[in-house]
Amino acid sequence: MRRVFVIILDGLGVGELPDAADYGDAGSDTLAHIAEEVGGLNLPSLESLGLGCIHSAKGLACPDTAIGSFGKMAERSPGKDSTTGHWELGGLILSKPFPTYPDGFPKEVILAFKRQTGLEILGNFPASGTEIIKILGGEHIRTGRPIIYTSADSVFQIAAHEEIIPLKKLYQLCEISREILHGNHAVARVIARPFIGSETDGFQRTKNRKDFSLSPPGPTILNLLQNAGVRTVAIGKINDLYAHSGIGLSISTKDNREGMTALANAIEAYDAGLVMANLVDFDMLWGHRNDPVGFYHGLQSFDRWLGDFSRSLLKDDLLFITADHGNDPTTPSTDHSREYVPILIYGHHIKKGINLGIRNSFADLHATVAEYLGVKPNPAGKSFLELIQYT
């Protein structure tokens, strides 16, 4: 029985794309810059798969006998947000970017929110999530008004103290906002951003974040497989990013540790199909907060876990490790960066040390998974299975 695991290290870019300057990301290089900041990387499991062969980074070598195949993928869709990246990994290439709001949301959006919720708001400007609750958290507690904000990405975010606006109510506000934000204002994601704490002790975001994404405009690899009767399992925020479409079983996780535990459990629980997981801490905790040391420690934890996980794979299993965009924690920006993403492949029937070079689209992943699991892919993307699989 054939089984595929796709692990997305959220935000692990490997160097600027040719059009990075158009997005304000010239010079971004998540992996290499983290390596410089920490004095070199020690990631033996990822190194053995060929990570150091994809991209130069201090401390990473390119082994003569890499046990995996490797390369990097360029994003063809315009944008650099999580939804765009995941949809392209799933086989959908967008023709135009999702809308962004560098000056805050227009009057018609805010008026519709006020009218349909009966609430006044705070904020309505781009900001870091941790900073905006420092600025407006006290006023939010005193007034009960939700904090509306955005970022360089296509997001409408609602921050609220869990004791002022309970989670159930916050999620309802997000559902209302999702209905409002359509047409020209169809942002990629509406995100609930709950927090706790006080002005005296400081505010902290909780792990009860929830995303409300647009539905994909066409079938993704998840739909293609599900329609063919192949099991699909989503771990972490995969379910949110694909708007629950094409997913047979969703496993919620709140951090990398829970995600890795769910992946390990999946080896025992499911004997066939696709298991797709997003490890969000790289992006949420360290990329957006400009914490290269935390990012590296997260990579080290994943690397230690990966050694045991890869040894547990069965003879017909195929493992892909990739990312959805960059998030360079060493630049002044706290937002995503327009970068190449790595692609590492491992399996007992996979050739060792095959350099795939630069793939023209993230969608090559979906085409390869589709071919391996025996379904017809979308037109987007080109399978590289014949390059890496023993015949």
What is 3-96+216-388's CATH superfamily?
A: Alkaline Phosphatase, subunit A (3.40.720.10)
Please, which contacts does 370-375 make with residues 24 or more away whose CB atoms are closer than 8 Å?
370/91, 370/221, 370/224, 370/225, 372/2, 372/4, 372/318, 373/2, 373/4, 373/225, 373/230, 373/273, 373/274, 374/2, 374/228, 374/230, 375/224, 375/225, 375/228, 375/230
Question: Over the stretch 157-198, which tens digit does the pLDDT of each residue have?
Answer: 999 999 999 999 999 999 999 999 999 999 999 999 999 999
What stretch(es) of the chain map to CATH 3.30.70.1250?
107-212
Return the pLDDT at 391. 66
Question: Over the stretch 70-117, which tens digit does the pLDDT of each residue have?
Answer: 999 999 999 999 999 999 999 999 999 999 999 999 999 999 999 999
Q: What is the mean pLDDT of residues 311-331?
A: 97
In one-letter notation, the amino acid at residue 245 is S
- Please tell me the class of the 107-212 domain: alpha beta
Q: Please give the C-alpha separations between residue 111 and each of 68, 156, 159, in angstroms, as whole numbers.
A: 53, 14, 18
Return the pLDDT at 207. 86
| pLDDT, mean over the chain | 96
Quickly tell me which residue has 């135009």 as its tokens. Answer: 96
With bands split at pLDDT 50, 70 and 90, how would you rate the model's confidence at 128? confident
Return the pLDDT at 390. 81
Question: Over the stretch 253-303, which tens digit does the pLDDT of each residue have?
Answer: 989 999 999 999 999 999 999 999 999 999 989 999 999 999 999 999 999
Cα–Cα distance measured from residue 21 to residue 111, given in angstroms and rounded to the nearest whole number = 35
What stretch(es) of the chain map to CATH 3.40.720.10?
3-96+216-388
pLDDT over 90 (residue 1):
no
Q: In terms of pTM, does the model score above 0.85?
A: yes
Q: What is the mean pLDDT of residues 299-322?
A: 97
Q: What is the mean pLDDT of residues 16-40?
A: 97
Q: Give percent above pLDDT 70 in the chain.
A: 100
In one-letter notation, the amino acid at residue 186 is A
